[in-house]
Structure 1
Amino acid sequence: MGVVAPFPQHNGPNQVVFIREELSKIMDIYGRMVAAGKWRDYAIVMERDYASFSAFRRSAENPEYRVEKRPSLHMKQGMWALFNENGMILKRGAELSGVLAPLERKLIKAING
């Protein structure tokens, strides 16, 4: 049987985490993509330098999209980035909603098409 790992707790300044509002925006899009039949699984990683949310079409594949938060880039390129399946940056910015915009457009296409 598998071992269930506990959800990581915020360890002060040594770990980057998603706050409730950020995770709520990400999970809203994730839920709508699941309802549209596009995504089936997700993973959250919280490390010292970054936090990452990955969305999968199937569990055994690479993530289709990855949203990454890197506070160290806040004053440079913006701390939010959206990566595609191949690891290419699709969008980068200071605001999460702007970085999630390509996923919103994809969701509209999935529902209409």
Structure 2
Amino acid sequence: MDVSQLENYIFIAIALIAVATGMKFGGNMLGNLIFRQKRGKALRSAFTLAAPRGEFSIVIVKVGVDIGAVSAFLFPLVGIISIVTAFLSPFLIKASDKVVPALERDDDV
């Protein structure tokens, strides 16, 4: 993995992290609400599962780079996304402890 290329793609990585996290949060929240989960449970679940991790993606991209199917710049990009989102998860879970009680309704108990 050539991390010297990473500075060229840092803004792409930040954008992909934001989009992936937002999409997982929104999809999880929507799924919970469709199945009529209480708002508190839906929020806590969305915060807990929001940070996408891509440990398996690293392996797939590495194989793709090795056989020449994808460009080599994807490997450090997927690597940084996986690392950042792995460290992001505990902070999102901790944030849910403060956000969920503030957004719960009284009839949600």
For the pair shown, the structure with the greater C-alpha radius of gyration is 2
Task: Compare the two structures and name the one with the higher helix fraction.
Answer: 2
Task: Compare the two structures and name the one with the higher strand fraction.
Answer: 1
Of structures 1 and 2, the one scoring higher in RCO (CA 8 A, sep 6+) is: 2
